[in-house]
Structure 1
Amino acid sequence: MLLLVAQSVKFIASSILCDVYYPPSTPSTKAPILFFIYGGGFDTGERRISPNTFGLVYSNVAAFFARRGYIVIIPDYRLVPSATFPQPSIDLREAIHWALQNPHNLTLNDSPPPDYDQLYMMGHSAGALHVFTLFAHPMTLPQTADDEIRRRVRGVILQSPPYDFSVIQEGWVDVETYKKFWGGLDAAKANDPVHLLRRIPKEKMGGVPEMLMVEAEWEPGWLLDAGVVFAREVAEKLGVAPVKIVARGHNHISHNWALSTGQGEEWAEDVVEWIKKRQSETAVRAT
């Protein structure tokens, strides 16, 4: 049985909530945990976009992955004007801590228990930027390999975040939001994913989970260009480029909205296979 949106839970001492979705029962098997971090341009976004989508988005994303055996957690996080950089990433950190400390909230009836050695994070657009910032910025996590979150999170899936703000100028759409979030355009450019990545010493890259890049075929050109720059920077740090999945026939928004419709889901099936490979590698190392 698949249980959808079984719980909405407060995970920090404010009104910030997360939704937990439960997979079908699987006897004697633990379930990996997938956090989905929605986007929205830094000043919009919510766990379930209502009433415009009747609550189906992003429940549809969680349902897709829950049906494939994942405990899915969709946390809210602070938005502009209530948030400045890197506060949303700190909210994500607290959501992970909550999940690690509250296993009873991650099971319901006969759903499988959580596998805390198999945590994954998938962010879209601004949400993906917050995910990467969590692991790349010195203010968000301890810079030590034994940090629990760094040990537990096996992979991050980055869906077309704004990797590189170098081309953004005054007058661009949303530039005022960026300035509010980062405290200025220069600060935004200095702390985008590309520039955060450049400041990570090679010997510290082991503290960044393995990355999967996902981009839609019909992304805006500047986002595609930024992805090329980011992949090149990762390759220079690690000696190998990150795996990239292209969601064919989709734009920046449609690939997530298509999930649970039975059409246009191929990219997400590829994400599932990528995660399965990480799980297999972990199992081999454990033997």
Structure 2
Amino acid sequence: MESIRLSNAAGTISNDILAQVTFANEAIYPLLEKRRAEIENVTRKTFRYGALPGSEMDVYYPSSTPSGKAPVLAFVHGGAYVHGSKTHPPPGDLIYKNVGAFYASQGFVTVIPDYRKLPGMKWPDAPSDIASALTFLVAHSSDVNASAPTAADVQNIFLVGHSAGGAIASDVLLAPGLLPANVRRSVRGLIVFGGMMHYRGLEYPIPPFVLPGYYGTDEDVRAHEPLGLLESASDEIVRGLPDVLMVLSEHDVAAMRAAVTDFRSALAERTGKDVPLLVAQGHNHISPHYALSSGEGEEWGHDVIRWMRAKLASGNGVPATE
């Protein structure tokens, strides 16, 4: 971890996402290559969750658990609503297989869905796709669990999103009508990592076409960004939210730091509940998810796992009413 921490502290605290991606590919990805066999040995199945092209999700299974079943972690990747997929193409094809393998090795059935990207979609298409993936998972659990080494416990789902994926994951729970009531009740926790939670006075390192292409007008942006949805959410939606963990990298992009901080404060005020913040030490915006399964820089991932296990053990995190 020391090489990652020193490199990030020296030069990747800036908003230069391309430089951060280059750093991750050069400094961290070779560590994943050394563990390729271990990562690819994890059982992975692909399912279609909808009729639209690209409506697929990869499911990674633990090799075994004492009960024969495992809670679910659904991971929504980032990419500024433009880039990314459930697995990267070669030569970086271990991303996001490494994420699925890491959480599966820790006893979580891990679901990584694809979702529609710009320019072929508009809000709320992306969160609608994630909601469809979760709905499929619950409705077709017998198919998902068929011949699997460990069965997915679809009554215990944690929804995790990074960057744009953090906004999308939040929208799934905040936007009315996206998630059926029975699926919403199965979501035990929301984890937002460096999420694009609002855009008010913030400069994100994203192309200028993204916000008008995804949301529309300035009024549309303010209404449908996660902070705007939280501000306008009914009391019923707020009461039905699961517990939330906010995560930032030590050297995260300035706009993400501000947006997560603002959303966290607003969420605590709206719910009357503590909203914990986890800081991934030594990391920039891109490096944390590259680090999983690498053997270096995984501490933050274990912290997230401890938070989820605490929710499972205590029974907390379950919405009280629908």
Fold equivalence (TM over 0.5): yes
* One-letter code aligned to 1:116: V
Among candidates 51, 57, 76, match of residue 18 of structure 1: 57
Structure number with the higher helix fraction is: 2
Residue by residue over 1:228-250, the C-alpha shift from the partner in whole angstroms, topping out at 9 and shown as x without a partner, is 21111011112233111100010
Residue matched to 1:182: 215
Moved more, 195-204 or 106-115: 106-115
Cα distance in structure 2, aligned partners of 1:177 and 1:5? 36
Among candidates 59, 79, 84, match of residue 40 of structure 1: 79
2:102 equivalent to 1:68 = no
Moved more, 22-31 or 247-256: 22-31
1:212 aligned counterpart, secondary structure: strand
Structure 1 residue 36: deviation in Å?
0.7
RMSD: 2.2
Residue matched to 1:152: 186
Structure 1 residue 109: deviation in Å?
4.2
Among candidates 8, 31, 44, match of residue 46 of structure 2: 8
**TM-score where L is the length of structure 1:** 0.90
* Identical aligned residues as a percent: 31
**Against the structure 1 CA distance between its residues 67 and 108, is the aligned structure 2 distance closer, same or farther, given a 3 Å change threshold?**
farther
Residue by residue over 1:110-166, the C-alpha shift from the partner in whole angstroms, topping out at 9 and shown as x without a partner, is 612221221111111111111111111124236xxxx11111010011011111211
Cα distance in structure 1, aligned partners of 2:202 and 2:299? 32
Q: Which portions of structure 1, spanning 4 or more consecutive aligned residues, are displaced by more than 4 angstroms?
A: none
Moved more, 274-283 or 56-65: 274-283
Among candidates 204, 208, 211, match of residue 237 of structure 2: 204
Structure 1 residue 177: deviation in Å?
1.3
**TM-score where L is the length of structure 2:** 0.81
Structure 1 residue 102: deviation in Å?
1.9
Whose RCO is larger (CA < 8 A, sep 6+)? 2
Among candidates 84, 90, 107, match of residue 51 of structure 1: 90
Structure 1 residue 9: deviation in Å?
1.5
- Note the 1:61-140 alignment, pairs <5 A: 61-107=99-145, 109=147, 111-140=149-178
* One-letter code aligned to 1:258: A
Moved more, 99-108 or 73-82: 99-108
**Against the structure 1 CA distance between its residues 240 and 97, is the aligned structure 2 distance closer, same or farther, given a 3 Å change threshold?**
closer
Structure 1 residue 189: deviation in Å?
2.4
* One-letter code aligned to 1:161: G
Structure 1 residue 201: deviation in Å?
3.4
Moved more, 77-86 or 100-109: 100-109
**Against the structure 1 CA distance between its residues 123 and 173, is the aligned structure 2 distance closer, same or farther, given a 3 Å change threshold?**
closer
Cα distance in structure 2, aligned partners of 1:251 and 1:228? 16
Residue matched to 1:227: 260
Cα distance in structure 2, aligned partners of 1:226 and 1:27? 40
2:289 equivalent to 1:250 = no
Residue by residue over 1:152-203, the C-alpha shift from the partner in whole angstroms, topping out at 9 and shown as x without a partner, is 010011011111211147x974231111111123311222111111112345
Runs of at least 5 residues in structure 2 that lack an aligned partner in the other structure: 1-37
